[in-house]
Amino acid sequence: MMQMTATPIPVPIRPDGEFRARLIASGGEDLKKCFQCATCSVVCNLSEDGTPFPRKEMIWAQWGLQDRLFADADIWLCHQCRDCTSRCPRGARPGDVMAAIRREAILHYSAPRWMGRLAIRPGFVVLLLVLSSLVLGLLACLHGPLPDLFRTSRPDRIVISYWSQLPQWLLILFFTPVLLLDTSVMVLGVKRLWHNLKASDPEVSRGIRAVLRNIVLHENFDRCVAERPRMYSHMLVLFGFLGLFVVDLWVLTARFNPLLSNVLAYPFNFWSPWKILANLAGAAILIGCTLMVRDRMAGTGRAGVWFDWMFLGLVAIAVLTGFACEVLHYARIDPLRYAAYVVHLATVFVLLVLLPYSKFAHMVYRATALVYVAHKKGSPQGVVRESE
Amino acid sequence: MNLNKLPAWLPPAVAGVIILFPAGYSAGRFAWARAFSFSKPYLELPDASSGSCVRDPSWMRQNHRILLRELRDKTVREGIRGKITLGTCSHCHKDKTRFCDKCHLAVNLYPDCFDCHFYSTAGPMAARLEGKP
């Protein structure tokens, strides 16, 4: 049943040329080639019978109907496996158009919006990276040895910082506000998306469990055909992030964690399970990023616009400088290891600042859309059917 | 390797085991230490009568290597032998294996100083270095 969500009362449509121009500029160049044959919606394995996509999104995009696109859960169900793009008789590349729509949606739901507009400028991000490196470096060089502010919490715990000029307590005080800010911006964005999806039903816990299962097992990715192996690069990066997140939690709470049986809380032994996990997770992200870069450079996809590269690039720089810190530390190359550390911290800082305005934000918005759809449909898209 | 033949649940399962292992290991170690009360002192602290350290202990914890390097440069390169020597350390921290080595070994740190130099334990060597009879 290929019908647009029918509106019984005629509503005047105001095409938004400016929005359409933005879509075209951010990767949807071939948008206008679409002649509505609906091959894309038919071949898409992720698209469901009731509300197929991406045909309807293609015409909404051609008309620049941004309100409909931003209130549409289906843009988040697309995993850009390019099954549609590879079969499109007109070469309109619906997968890339959907990606461009998601990009605009992330910027639309982020707050403040001018921050999102700044984040898509390469110059701004490079400036931010250089500035925060300089500030951190100067901060570390200007002052003398700092007293341990957290000393009173657990006097029997030993935590040796990587660089005593930038002790752990200083970094915790420095990064926690950014993380809290990130969380509030993304919670706000998710609330606005949810409001637009017009679902205010509180009984979504079943949907949430099923969606978590879907995300962990990559069930939607698994249904892609043309570029199914992208699933594995995504897995490497996602699970790598999870691993590093767990290690970070352990390190940051080391001073008051009652489960810690060692007096020496940090640094780890190279063969400590935590260190092994951190190294494996870092390697997983690095391999995943390399595979993603390879996929983007390969003929099947477009190289993508700055927005696509920004998050990937920052993650790659963060992991590479992290490993550089480790190697330089074990090699005891003193001034250089501090420089690498400062660049590493600055990259992580920029990554955290830009989190809600970068591709990372797909994590919260896609999860929200999946929960919404799973809840709305009972036999949900985004949830593997029991019979399978 | 044909990735399409790999069951989709396998990589998440492997990742889950790897990610959860350290937490399980630490919890297990904690329970083990609790059950068999292995709580031996980690660092052998000097007794209270030894007086205070030559620097603030929390500074020493991070930066003793800087102090030792400064002392080395002063003594060996500039020929200025001050009051503080390695012998001074050993007055209070009598056993290297129960103090210095504890952390160093725990973080794979093997300073090669003591391959040649002798860490005397407040014996005649230390006294001589400090100019006492």
Instruction: Report d(CA B87, CA B80) in Å as an integer.
Output: 16
Residues of B in contact with A247 (CB under 8 A): 22
Instruction: Report d(CA A161, CA A167) in Å as an integer.
Output: 5
Lowest mean pLDDT segment, chosen from A102-111, A127-136, A145-154, B109-118:
A145-154
Chain centroid to Cα A351, Å, comes to: 10
Verify whether the Cβ–Cβ distance B19 to A148 is below 8 Å: no
**Are the C-beta atoms of B58 and A148 separated by less than 8 Å?**
yes
| Structure-token match 């002790």, residue found | A167
* Structure tokens, A310: 């920004």
Residues of A in contact with B15 (CB under 8 A): 235, 239, 242-243, 284
Instruction: Report d(CA A214, CA A234) in Å as an integer.
Output: 13
Lowest mean pLDDT segment, chosen from A42-51, A192-201, A231-240, A246-255:
A192-201
pLDDT at B55 over 50: yes
The DSSP element (H or E) to which A60 belongs, if any, is helix A55-63
pLDDT at A185 over 80: yes
pLDDT at B21 over 90: yes
* Structure tokens, A260: 């810690």
Instruction: Report d(CA A297, CA A303) in Å as an integer.
Output: 6
* Structure tokens, A378: 């009972």
pLDDT at A300 over 60: no
**Are the C-beta atoms of A53 and A44 separated by less than 8 Å?**
yes
User: SS3 breakdown of chain A: % helix, strand, coil, rounded to 5?
Assistant: 65, 0, 35
Nearest one of A311, A352, A369 to A194, comparing CA atoms? A369
pLDDT digits (tens, 9 = 90+) for B67-94: 888 888 998 899 888 888 887 888 888 7
Confidence bin at A381 (pLDDT 50/70/90)? very low
pLDDT digits (tens, 9 = 90+) for A329-375: 988 888 899 999 999 999 999 999 999 999 899 999 999 888 888 77
pLDDT digits (tens, 9 = 90+) for A62-83: 999 988 899 888 999 998 888 8
Preceding peptide of B11 cis, ω within 30°: no
**Are the C-beta atoms of A341 and A325 separated by less than 8 Å?**
yes
Q: Is B35 part of the contact surface with chain A (CB cutoff 8 Å)?
A: no
pLDDT at A195 over 90: no
Which residue numbers of A have CB closer than 8 Å to B's CBs? 145, 147-148, 151, 158, 160-161, 164, 167, 216-219, 222, 228-229, 231-232, 235, 239, 242-243, 246-247, 250, 259-264, 267-274, 276-277, 280-281, 284, 330
Q: Which residues contact A106 (CB under 8 A, 6 or more apart)?
A: A116, A356, A357, A358, A359, A361, A362, A365
Secondary structure of residue A266 in the 3-state scheme: strand
Q: At what angle do helices A306-330 and A334-353 cross, to 10 degrees?
A: 150
Q: At what angle do helices A168-196 and A334-353 cross, to 10 degrees?
A: 20
The torsion region of residue A382 among left (phi > 0), alpha (psi -120 to 50) and beta comes to left
φ and ψ of A305, to 5 deg: -95, 175
pLDDT at A388 over 50: no
Percent of chain A with pLDDT over 70: 87
φ and ψ of A145, to 5 deg: -60, 135
The length of chain A in residues reads 388
* Structure tokens, A14: 């105001």
Neighbours of A168 (CB within 10 A): 22
Residues paired with residue A266 on neighbouring β-strands, in sequence order: A159
pLDDT at A385 over 50: no
Percent of chain B with pLDDT over 90: 11
More confident residue, A145 or B61: B61
The alpha-carbon gap from A244 to the nearest alpha carbon of chain B, in Å, equals 9
| Per-domain residue ranges of chain A | 17-109, 113-377
Nearest one of A1, A4, A2 to A63, comparing CA atoms? A4
Q: Which residues contact B55 (CB under 8 A, 6 or more apart)?
A: B63, B64, B67
Residues paired with residue A158 on neighbouring β-strands, in sequence order: A264
| Structure-token match 């329970």, residue found | B31
Instruction: Report d(CA A75, CA A365) in Å as an integer.
Output: 10
Preceding peptide of A54 cis, ω within 30°: yes
Instruction: Report d(CA A248, CA A352) in Å as an integer.
Output: 14
More confident residue, A251 or A164: A251
Instruction: Determine the pLDDT at residue A384.
Output: 43
Compare all CA atoms of chain A with the CA of B103 and give the residue at the minimum distance: A264
User: SS3 breakdown of chain B: % helix, strand, coil, rounded to 5?
Assistant: 60, 0, 40
Rounded mean pLDDT of B42-50? 71
Q: Is B83 exposed, middle or buried (0-12, 13-18, 19+ CB in 10 A)?
A: exposed
Instruction: Report d(CA A48, CA A379) in Å as an integer.
Output: 10
The alpha-carbon gap from A307 to the nearest alpha carbon of chain B, in Å, equals 28
More confident residue, B121 or A287: A287
Confidence bin at A12 (pLDDT 50/70/90)? confident
Sign of CA dihedral A34, A36, A40, A43: negative
**Are the C-beta atoms of A18 and A25 separated by less than 8 Å?**
no
Give the ipTM: 0.76
**Are the C-beta atoms of A136 and A350 separated by less than 8 Å?**
no
Rounded mean pLDDT of A6-19? 79
pLDDT at A157 over 60: yes
**Are the C-beta atoms of A130 and A305 separated by less than 8 Å?**
no
**Are the C-beta atoms of A374 and A380 separated by less than 8 Å?**
yes
Nearest one of A345, A357, A347, A361 to A174, comparing CA atoms? A345
Q: Within chain B, where are the H helices?
A: 10-36, 57-72, 86-92, 100-106, 113-116, 124-129
Instruction: Determine the pLDDT at residue A204.
Output: 56
Compare all CA atoms of chain A with the CA of B108 and give the residue at the minimum distance: A269
Q: Point out the residue among B11, B43, B107 whose CB comes nearest to the CB of A235.
A: B11
Instruction: Report d(CA A372, CA A211) in Å as an integer.
Output: 10
* Structure tokens, A131: 């500035």
Q: How far is CA A257 from CA A149, A251, B34, in A?
A: 17, 9, 15
